[in-house]
């Protein structure tokens, strides 16, 4: 038989039962700690791309790497030129071999300290890697 004092005791315990959080497993704690710490890339590099071709070929025994330094203004102009060229290429149907044969060409003029961004053709027009 349930007594009134037992009911009163249970009613008094309800707020503590509601506010007591479930304990997390150690695996969940590890996942939260890992998610809180973001992995960062190398601060000296913002990414690597592989080129389809370099014409005319640069001698292999030359200085490595060939570095090109830009001011912020010139870097922003390069960013804008690349963005515009890629936006135009993105309109092509990448399923056709003719469209996949189109790409971006960087033309470097060392005597003028100039780099030009334009559309070009690529030799490797296989599906995206």
Q: Phi and psi for 113 in degrees, rounded to 5?
A: 50, 50
The predicted pLDDT at position 85 comes to 92
| pLDDT band with cut points at 50, 70 and 90 for residue 72 | very high
Residues in Cβ contact with 81 at an 8 Å cutoff, skipping those fewer than 6 apart: 117
Report the C-alpha gap between 77 and 49 in whole angstroms: 20
Contact yes or no for 125/103 (Cβ under 8 A): no
pTM of the shown model: 0.58
The predicted pLDDT at position 58 comes to 82
Q: How many alpha carbons lie under 13 Å from residue 91 in its C-beta half-sphere?
A: 5
Report the C-alpha gap between 12 and 79 in whole angstroms: 66
CB atoms within 10 A of CB 117: 19
E strands in the chain: 102-109, 114-121
Contact yes or no for 66/58 (Cβ under 8 A): yes
Bigger pLDDT: 34 vs 55: 55
The residue-averaged pLDDT of 11-19 equals 61
pLDDT per position as a tens digit, 25-34:
676 777 776 6
């Amino acid at each position: 038989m349930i007594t009134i004092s037992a009911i009163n005791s249970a009613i008094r315990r309800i707020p503590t039962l509601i506010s007591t959080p479930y304990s997390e497993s150690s695996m969940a704690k590890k996942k939260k700690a890992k998610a809180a710490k973001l992995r960062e890339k190398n601060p000296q590099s913002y990414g690597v791309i592989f080129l389809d071709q370099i014409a005319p070929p640069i001698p292999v025994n030359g200085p490595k790497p060939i570095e090109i330094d830009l001011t912020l203004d010139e870097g922003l102009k390069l960013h804008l030129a690349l963005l515009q060229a890629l936006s135009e290429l993105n309109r092509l149907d990448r399923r056709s071999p003719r469209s996949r044969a189109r790409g971006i060409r960087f033309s470097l003029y060392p005597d003028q300290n100039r780099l030009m961004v334009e559309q070009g053709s690529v030799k490797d027009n296989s599906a995206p890697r």
